[in-house]
Chains A and B, each alone.
Chain A
Amino acid sequence: MEFQDIAPKLTMLLYGLIGFVVVVGGLLLVLDVVPTWFARRREAALVAASLQSGGAPVARRPRKRREGTLALAFMIPALLLLLIGLVAPAIRTIILSLQNGDSTRFVGLDNYAWIFQENDIVRVLVNTLAWVVLVPLLATGVGLTYAVMVDRARFESVAKSLIFLPMAISFVGAGIIWRFVYAHRGVGDQIGLLNAVWVALGNEPKPWLLDPPLNTFLLIVVMVWIQAGFAMVILSAAIKAIPGDIVEAARLDGVSPWQMFWRITLPSIRPALVVVVITIMIATLKVFDIVRTMTNGNYDTNVVALEMYNQAFRYQENGHGSALAVLLFILVIPVVIFQIRNLRRQREV
């Protein structure tokens, strides 16, 4: 291929690179220069003050105001990014959700009514609900059981890394791996692990991913597989942080392991438990990759995030897609509020 043939592509790439460098470089400069400038000024002022007063405390008022400006300077880049990347798109999405498919006319709340009228979409909501209830429960349950069981065991760190490993795999990667696990061949040898086990137990091979509602549950298993490691690590750290004297006192009182878990361990790690459940819940509400990779939402396995993408980008129905996005947003809000209040309460204690 001649150079001049690919020259336009190279130039395009170059423009992209230059644009990237200008934006990212600019941001880095702003993030770096502005706070440094303030810090240096403050340092100079402090030095000057200490020189003048010979170590006496600086007057309180001006310093406080300056700290305010300093805080603002630190916050401006973050605020700007939030505004451009989060607030503006959110407002636009809400406006789009009140308009028709090609965003030419306002239709009121029709798109929201559509969500609850279509059988298909109601099914999507039910599936998402199943995900949001089951994944946090199962992932936290598995993670907690594991954390308690391997706590102070002989090969604790090895055992923990094993269950933590799936965390490093992307959702798409995990989806592809598990699609092989569930694979089904109508004729010939089975290549799927699950069918191999199933057939060894004397059953007929089954196309696992085709049968609702079992298939949604099988997809949920993938998410649990990924998230259990996260739950385990946080909870294990929380268990280790339980003060030794409490445990010792309980032992002296002669508790059974069962009582130990329910009366001592669980109440002590409650804050960590809440954080884990909520984090996984939010991640689950947004689940997209696993479903898209494994079934593409067919066979009644669709979820809100995937349907939102399909409506907006594949079917060019901006109104429907945006309404689903807003719905997802509304569903996350109570969880986030609960989380914030929880954190605040903890800080007060």
Chain B
Amino acid sequence: MDPARKRKIRLVVALAAAVFLAAALIYTSFSASTEASKPSQLEPGRSYEVTGKVVKGSITRDGDELRFRIRDRDGQESVPVSYTGLVPDPFRDGREVIVSGELKQGTLVAERDSLVTKCPSKFTKDKQSS
């Protein structure tokens, strides 16, 4: 095979591999993603990553289960959450949290260990447990 033709084949193979990888990247990321949402926007039967504030005085514990309500960052509408698993350190009344789960009979049933607390300080070099 002459060198020029060989180079061309190599280029085509490399480009095809790159296109394939890019397509895989795009496809898997869109199909594996969870949608971010506010407590007031939830609909049953889909999984969401809900961002909101913990309603003051709503945190109760029932055995391993942690129950609390979260509300929109700038609203009053709230939804009850049932959560099991690790509770991150800065979890408190009024803090902004992210939790993943599905709406079942009016309650957000959270995935285990999905609770993330946003740090209230301005310069958050630290990350919370994920």
Q: Are these two chains actual partners, yes or no?
A: no
| A residues lining the B interface (CB < 8 Å) | none
